[in-house]
């Protein structure tokens, strides 16, 4: 049980709760390790569990009718998913796969409903869901209104905001991201994305090291979003 | 343990279910847009057309005098197929389609 409490109490979503309430969460939650590339659930699986990421990264994606992998989101520590569980007899409508070794805390719909008795936790969950909705809406808008360079620039800036760590060189995006992953995120071909990345690298705006992107000149990247070629 | 339905903050659960339903719609739409499906292409075209329009006093944007035929021609599909897509977008609350 002490492991369960350790797992949950550090999550931001429960940061406003007092110790007895956190202990209650510890009693309700389970903890599990998922290895890199392991699936947590697949599209069509019964949705009966809410997942909270303790550490690691999870990729949410769908597969199009043509068999193309469509990445919807990349989640990190403190993010939660599996929200379809809030509906009765629901199914997951996407796939969730670990991008790296990941620790997950989870609880059932019934247990999560108990946690929602706390208004602060409810508000936090609503806020996080609202952010998810904004993220999907922004992605649709970005595809509609930006060219590939603008989309790559916007995506790198967004990822830097969420996963960036400062280093002497610039801001390193702390995710192993292939050109294929980036292509799926921005909805462009891998070749096109490689060309854009090559161009940004040549202009000294970004660099890459160990499959990680480093933002050398975020202002120039922002300009690429605002002023499409 | 008490029954979740009785103990949960029902207002919050309702709010959460509304947002989750919206998330389902947007994730499906995002998939269609990224997959370049007919639905996705139609929605992107409509977004760009709406972008050109001024906002009305009620906060909405209206594309006036756009025939189904001309829109169908723009996205390279027949009117029946396009009507089905417009119906879907209307059902999801994303657009409101009024015919003269």
- Give the pLDDT confidence of B36-82 residue by residue, as tens digits: 899 999 999 999 988 887 777 777 778 877 888 988 998 889 999 99
The predicted pLDDT at position A157 comes to 94
The predicted pLDDT at position A7 comes to 61
What's the CA angle centered on B95, arms B92 and B98, to 5 degrees? Answer: 120
Residue-averaged pLDDT of chain A: 86
> pLDDT band at A219, cuts 50/70/90?
very high
- Using DSSP's 3-state secondary structure scheme, residue B39 falls into helix
**B47 or A17: which leads in pLDDT:** B47
% of chain A residues with pLDDT over 90: 45
> pLDDT band at B15, cuts 50/70/90?
confident
**A10 or A109: which leads in pLDDT:** A109
Among partner residues A65, A87, A122, which is closest to B12 by beta-carbon distance? A122
In B, which residues are within 8 Å of A127 by CB distance? none
What is the Cβ-side half-sphere exposure of residue A55, based on CA atoms within 13 angstroms? Answer: 5
- Of A13-27, A53-67, B29-43, the poorest mean pLDDT is in A13-27
Stretch A88-109: mean pLDDT: 89
> pLDDT band at A130, cuts 50/70/90?
very high
Stretch A14-18: mean pLDDT: 71
- Using DSSP's 3-state secondary structure scheme, residue B83 falls into helix
The predicted pLDDT at position B4 comes to 44
The predicted pLDDT at position A1 comes to 45
The predicted pLDDT at position A190 comes to 92
Closest residue in chain A to residue B46, using alpha carbons only: A144
The predicted pLDDT at position B100 comes to 66
Helix (H) / strand (E) containing A50 = strand A49-55
Tell me whether A86 touches chain B (CB under 8 Å): yes
Q: What DSSP character marks residue B84? A: H
Stretch A127-140: mean pLDDT: 91
The predicted pLDDT at position A194 comes to 95
Among partner residues A114, A126, A143, which is closest to B16 by beta-carbon distance? A126
Nearest CA-CA distance, residue B38 and chain A, Å: 12
Nearest CA-CA distance, residue B100 and chain A, Å: 28
A184 has a pLDDT exceeding 70: yes
**A25 or B1: which leads in pLDDT:** A25
Stretch B16-23: mean pLDDT: 90
ipTM confidence:
0.82
C-alpha closest to that of A29 among A107, A102, A85, A103: A107
Among partner residues B13, B33, B44, which is closest to A116 by beta-carbon distance? B13
Q: Any bridge partners for residue A104, and if so which?
A: A32, A53
The predicted pLDDT at position A5 comes to 46
- Using DSSP's 3-state secondary structure scheme, residue A41 falls into strand
- Of A23-32, A184-193, A202-211, B39-48, the poorest mean pLDDT is in A23-32
Q: How far apart are CA B86 and CA B95, in angstroms?
A: 8
> pLDDT band at A3, cuts 50/70/90?
very low
Q: How far apart are CA A130 and CA A216, in angstroms?
A: 31
In A, which residues are within 8 Å of B17 by CB distance? 86-87
- Look up the pTM and report it: 0.81
The predicted pLDDT at position A228 comes to 57
In B, which residues are within 8 Å of A113 by CB distance? 4-5, 7-8, 13
- Using DSSP's 3-state secondary structure scheme, residue A118 falls into coil
Tell me whether A33 touches chain B (CB under 8 Å): no
Stretch B13-24: mean pLDDT: 88
The predicted pLDDT at position A137 comes to 92
Q: Are A158 and A71 within 8 A, CB to CB? A: no
The predicted pLDDT at position B44 comes to 93
Contact check, Cβ <8 Å, B33/A187? yes
Q: Are A3 and A31 within 8 A, CB to CB? A: yes
């Amino acid at each position: 049980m002490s492991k369960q409490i350790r797992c949950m109490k550090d999550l931001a979503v429960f940061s406003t709760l007092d110790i007895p309430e956190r202990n209650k969460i510890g009693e309700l939650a389970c903890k599990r390790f998922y290895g890199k590339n392991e699936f947590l659930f697949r599209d069509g699986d019964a949705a009966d569990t809410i997942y909270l990421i303790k550490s690691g990264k999870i990729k949410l994606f769908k597969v199009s009718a043509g068999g193309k992998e469509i990445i919807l989101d990349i989640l990190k520590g403190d993010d939660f998913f599996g929200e379809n569980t809030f509906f009765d007899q629901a199914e997951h409508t996407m796939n969730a796969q670990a991008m790296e070794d990941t620790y997950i805390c989870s609880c059932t719909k019934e247990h999560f409903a108990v946690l929602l008795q706390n208004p602060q936790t409810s508000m936090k969950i609503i806020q996080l869901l609202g952010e998810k909705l904004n993220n999907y809406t922004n992605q649709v808008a970005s595809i509609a209104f930006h060219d590939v360079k603008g989309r790559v620039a916007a995506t790198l800036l967004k990822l830097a905001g969420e996963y960036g760590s400062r280093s002497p060189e610039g801001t390193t995006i702390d995710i192993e991201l292939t050109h294929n992953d980036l292509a799926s995120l921005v909805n462009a071909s891998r070749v096109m994305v490689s060309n854009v990345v090559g161009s940004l690298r040549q202009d000294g705006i970004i660099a890459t090291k160990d499959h990680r992107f480093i933002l050398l000149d975020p202002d120039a990247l922002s300009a690429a979003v605002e002023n499409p070629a | 343990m008490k029954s979740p339905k009785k103990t949960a903050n029902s207002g919050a659960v309702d709010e959460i279910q509304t947002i989750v339903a919206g998330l389902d719609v947007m994730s499906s739409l995002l998939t269609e847009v990224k997959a370049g499906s007919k639905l996705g292409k139609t929605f992107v075209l409509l977004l760009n057309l709406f972008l050109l329009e001024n906002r009305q006093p009620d906060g909405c944007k209206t594309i006036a005098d756009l025939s189904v035929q001309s829109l169908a021609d723009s996205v390279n599909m027949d009117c029946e197929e396009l009507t089905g897509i417009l119906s879907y977008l209307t059902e999801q609350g994303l657009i409101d389609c009024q015919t003269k």
